[in-house]
Amino acid sequence: MTPDELKAGQARLEAFAAEVFAPLGRADQRRWGERYVRGLLGAGCRKSMEPMAARLGVDRQGLQQFLADSPWSHQMVLAELAWRMEPVIRPAAWVVDDVSFPKDGHASPGVAAQYCGALGKTANCQVAPSVHLVTDAASCPVDWRLFLPSEWDRAAAPAEEADRVDRRRRRARIPDAVGYVPKWQLALDMVDELRCWGLDPPLVVADEGYGQDGAFREGLTERGIAYVVGVRSDTAVLPEQAVRTAPAWSGTGRKPVPRYRQAPTAVRELVLGAGRGALRTVTWRRGSKGPLRSRFAALRVRPAGMRIRRAHPGEDLPVCWLLAEWPAKEPEPTKYWLSTLPAHVPLRRLVRLAKIRWRVEHDYRELKTALGLGDFEGRTWNGFHRHLTLASVAQAFCTLERLCPPATVAA
């Protein structure tokens, strides 16, 4: 925000901060929270501790102490933020995604050589999964987790590395109970946490980094949550018409068990087999350069990966949607999704929800370029999560300013 915009919205920011920081037990903590968010919203290219304190005209040590050492719960602030933003955004979906932070050193919690989306390659970085309340008009991250790779987990380290892992963890102040957890499980944990806060997911949307794992999809189904998730082109499925059969019993020996005799097919082969005649042109929303339009095939299938089969022994595999995008100038489909939305869902709605992840890219871009998400220079577990939380508060305030006229916000 420009200095003039921030000055004009100061009263609204103070009122908003008073709401989301209400769980903080002390008045001085609530004041530091509002100051930190004001620093993230203000001018300046770098939103790290020292330059922010200088621009705010406050004591750097006080700001640092609030972020790293003061006893307050970032989860309680996120819960308050989620309660405040849910009725404003009225989400069409909860989107699961993650953001990466390239790092030069090795002391920051969770830093390791892993895929870095910011650089598009494997690099030394931190990765933080997040959950966002999303519509095509607005979005807001309301929960975060720092992914802790296995080399930060004493239980997963070789015996000769255990002491070194312990020293790294102590320096980063990582709680003893925190260890390596797959990103898909962190995503389910955040969904569970949001539900514990009283929020109800309309459905969950995720890219193939999460959707490819059958355990993630099965976890959502077990929770009764519909999903639209990206998958790879080699994901194994059976057509909806596939049935379990058993050969005739001879009357002796073990009675044959019904099973699928047909071999699973990769989704790519299934869509190519259906051909271009199965495609329909869909316009799902208006972009900055006009309507967004492409060609899609939607087929009813039974996911048939090993994990899904093990989850349904002796049962019919569940049926869901396979959605594939096949642009006119491409020789084959370019993207695939699986979805448990009802069989009668209109194709345009299915496509719109599959594509709604674009809002999260907007969130990350705004958080990184304008609100200092990637500027945190601390090296503690608590400090990292608190910085992400406060950046989310700043982004939520920007969202409110865009959605609501000042008079409405003030009211």
Give tens-digit pLDDT for 54-92: 888 898 899 999 998 999 999 999 999 999 999 999 999
Give tens-digit pLDDT for 93-142: 999 999 999 998 889 999 999 999 889 899 999 999 999 999 999 999 99
- Cα separation of 48 and 165, whole Å? 27
- Cα separation of 246 and 18, whole Å? 66
Q: What angle do CA 356, 362, 367 make, to 5 degrees?
A: 140
Closest CA to 226 of 92, 361, 134: 92
* SS3 state of residue 320: strand
- Cα separation of 37 and 391, whole Å? 7
Residue 230: both structure tokens together: 């990206």
| pLDDT of the residue at 118 | 86
In the chain, DSSP finds a helix count (H) and a strand count (E) of: 16, 14
| pLDDT of the residue at 149 | 94
- Cα separation of 5 and 17, whole Å? 17
Instruction: Give the HSE-up count for residue 362: Cα atoms under 13 Å, Cβ half-sphere.
Output: 19
Residue 84: both structure tokens together: 């405040």
| pLDDT of the residue at 409 | 45
Closest CA to 109 of 296, 396, 407, 388: 388
Closest CA to 314 of 260, 236, 252, 264: 260
List the chain residues with pLDDT less than 50.
408-411
What is this structure's pTM? 0.92
Closest CA to 373 of 353, 359, 391: 391
Q: Residue type at 29?
A: Q
164: left (phi over 0), alpha (psi -120 to 50) or beta: alpha
Q: Tokens 């972009």 correspond to what residue?
A: 287
| pLDDT of the residue at 405 | 63
- Cα separation of 376 and 201, whole Å? 31
Q: Residue type at 277?
A: G
Q: Where are the beta strands (DSSP E) in 135-171?
A: 139-144
